[in-house]
């Protein structure tokens, strides 16, 4: 009985791994975008829409993590 419960718990954790990984990727992307906004688009702070537009316009100058987050958001 304990082996069955252990197996069920392991399968549950494995099933949730992609969700946790996606959340971690999104958090890393947000941090990267914050840094990119400060370095590439600082003149638009605090206007979030203009910052987002600046980041999209300067895709070749921002980090890959931020670029992936922006692509997945649109």
The closest of 70, 69, 71 to 22, measured between CA atoms, is: 69
Whether the predicted pLDDT of 40 surpasses 60: yes
Average pLDDT of 48-57?
Answer: 94
pTM of the complete model? 0.66
Q: Which residues of 8-47 are buried (b: 16+ CB within 10 A; e: fewer)?
A: eeeeeeeeeeeeeeeeeeeeebeebbeebbeebbeebeee
Please state, rounded to an integer, the average pLDDT across all residues of the chain: 78
Whether the predicted pLDDT of 8 surpasses 50: no
């Amino acid at each position: 009985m304990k082996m069955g419960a252990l197996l069920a718990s392991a399968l549950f954790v494995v099933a949730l791994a992609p969700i946790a990984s996606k959340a971690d990727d999104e958090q890393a992307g947000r941090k990267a975008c914050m840094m990119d906004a400060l370095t590439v688009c600082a003149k638009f702070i605090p206007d979030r829409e203009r910052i987002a537009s600046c980041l999209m316009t300067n895709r070749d100058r921002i980090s890959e993590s931020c670029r992936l987050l922006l692509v997945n958001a649109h």
